[in-house]
Structure 1
């Protein structure tokens, strides 16, 4: 009986083993067949990418536009009398990243262009203009400059991350009328040494006194590559005129715009045997200065004491408004003895004061020597 059971167990194991082998073979054949029929199907095993591999794959497929240099356009040069290209300033510091460009048509004909441009730097060592990176995306917008709409503006970016700024001359070129004509605007970037050079040139020009602005300046200073300018008449109008006549540099600091306050203190033309008057009662428009006479006829034989400073005011309504003047004077004391006269010129600065017809006064502060009590004398005159 035991022998019969043992034989049965052997037979069953043998059958099971045969069946398993056949099943494995059939399964393997099935997989091979599917791979042949569907080589890119999910049945093909693929490794799962890591997070780092996924990030690298994303970076590889991203598309970044880089600034590109553009060749200088060719064509006939446009006359500046017909069409001008100018940057907002002639000089900029090395830290500049943007430059504002204005194109103006002065002729009666039409000029057409787009937003495309070329930017160049003059290499003194190589004695040639080098193209610099420009905006990689140029909007396809047409400019039509005609007598009715003669101007257009554009902001030009300096890609300092691509090519660092260098001291020297730069040009912005644009092509017009289907690339048949070309024009450019030139500007200069300066370092601290260049800014000092500009200030010296400005100070030298201020001494010749040939322009309104040269007579409107009474001092300048520097801090780094910034220039500080003190104007006698520090208004927006005269700041613009200074940039036009003297120096068009982007980092000139003029300080706050000042408006003269009305002079409200009491003044005398004749008091305590002290009098003051102008040489003439009436002067023509455009008069640059008036002669003033201060007289001491003090009966108590007291000396009159004062300084060089004075100012001139114009009557507006019921108020006396001081004119813009150069307040920098020598700090010296002047003594006028009894029965003496003191003559001085009072400048009216007509170039940067609107000295129209009207009533004017010259004011001067005085006191008796040794007595600490001051008052104002006034000499009145007219401009007609």
Structure 2
């Protein structure tokens, strides 16, 4: 058996180490043999706790063990762990492992049931093959999951060295605590993900997150910078669709333009001026919402932006100006040189006729 990113060996060297349990396959009996042995007792293998290894602890600088997520809900039944060697030293291990739960009342680690059958596979972690992944099953039918900290231990080099990966199971109260931590991190403007998050909510022990840019790249960055919880729901990855409705820079004595015609790459926002010059003395009505699009070929593709705005109505009297700041979110958009538009939907107060105004500018 060969797992991804790992090196399995059948060399003499690879055969020298042992695992806790080795089960060899037996010949399948014929019907006659089955009939003769019908009176024998069938044995069912049960999950068994394994002692925590007592070897020398390996520095995380040399070898690290990490679970896929730092936090999991109580309903979790499997946890993926990744072992990675960061040194030139060779580390040898098998599929055997120990699982433990920290009992806060007793202030000690308690071993939990593990797989009763461990495949006879040896792994050599070398610079050419530094990583090994393994899925650990939580036998909840034997011992129900409890909120708290858990560890997965593995022994290396004939049990002389040991490393572990730690994770936490949380109940609904724990999930609320995680969300509070997440919301507190939103105020840290030194990390990109805090600026990418614009709304979150909870349902039971799941956290739902809306990101300005919801691509896989920014989901991974969010887990790295803010919260690595398996029960976060980011929703479907959204790709902006081309905006195809007609828009005007000047129509019906209404105009919209940016403060400058050209802005440098990296500009975070542009000032926009909407002017009502209507001769019929009609008030212009609109809301706070707007969006920015970049021209790609013949299409206008909206930038990723914050869709959450205050639900307010604004009246612009004749011969009046309304100025607002349009955010370009350069952290979450590839705002290269090109032509851009700020779009805003407007209407005359008391009418049902709506249309889009557009203010064009360039980034160079």
Larger displacement relative to structure 2 (166-175 or 294-303): 294-303
1:175 alignment counterpart: 155
In the alignment, structure 2 segments of 5+ residues that lack a partner are: 1-34
2:184 corresponds to 1:200: no
Q: After superposition, what is the alpha-carbon deviation per residue over 1:156-200, rounded to whole angstroms, capped at 9, x for unaligned?
A: 111112211111000001112222221110001111111111112
Q: Distance in 2 between matches of 1:228 and 1:68?
A: 37
2:203 corresponds to 1:223: yes
Q: After superposition, what is the alpha-carbon deviation per residue over 1:45-72, rounded to whole angstroms, capped at 9, x for unaligned?
A: xxxxxxxxxx9x9686222222221111
1:281 alignment counterpart: 261
Q: Distance in 1 between matches of 2:175 and 2:141?
A: 23
2:142 corresponds to 1:165: no
**Structure that is richer in helix per residue:** 1
2:227 corresponds to 1:247: yes
SS of residue paired to 2:218: helix
Q: After superposition, what is the alpha-carbon deviation per residue over 1:21-68, rounded to whole angstroms, capped at 9, x for unaligned?
A: xxxxxxxxxxxxxxxxxxxxxxxxxxxxxxxxxx9x968622222222
Number of equivalenced pairs: 329
Q: Distance in 2 between matches of 1:66 and 1:135?
A: 8
Q: Distance in 2 between matches of 1:75 and 1:84?
A: 15
- Listed as ranges, the matches of 1:26-175 within 5 Å are 61-175=41-155
TM-score (norm 1): 0.82
Q: After superposition, what is the alpha-carbon deviation per residue over 1:79-102, rounded to whole angstroms, capped at 9, x for unaligned?
A: 222211111111111111111111
Q: Distance in 1 between matches of 2:167 and 2:39?
A: 39
TM-score (norm 2): 0.86
RMSD over aligned Cα, in angstroms? 1.7
1:35 alignment counterpart: none
**Structure with the greater relative contact order (CA < 8 A, sep ≥ 6): 1 or 2?**
2
Q: Distance in 2 between matches of 1:107 and 1:268?
A: 62
2:312 corresponds to 1:332: yes
2:357 corresponds to 1:377: yes
Q: Distance in 2 between matches of 1:370 and 1:89?
A: 54
1:22 alignment counterpart: none
Would the alpha carbon gap of residues 258 and 59 (structure 1) be closer, same or farther in structure 2, given more than 3 Å must change?
A: farther
Q: Distance in 1 between matches of 2:185 and 2:340?
A: 32
SS of residue paired to 2:238: coil
In the alignment, structure 1 segments of 5+ residues that lack a partner are: 1-54
SS of residue paired to 1:208: coil
2:168 corresponds to 1:188: yes
Q: Distance in 2 between matches of 1:145 and 1:361?
A: 53
Would the alpha carbon gap of residues 59 and 289 (structure 1) be closer, same or farther in structure 2, given more than 3 Å must change?
A: farther
Q: Distance in 2 between matches of 1:285 and 1:104?
A: 39
- Listed as ranges, the matches of 1:315-330 within 5 Å are 315-330=295-310
- Deviation of 1:254 (Å): 1.5
Larger displacement relative to structure 2 (316-325 or 59-68): 59-68
1:8 alignment counterpart: none
1:367 alignment counterpart: 347
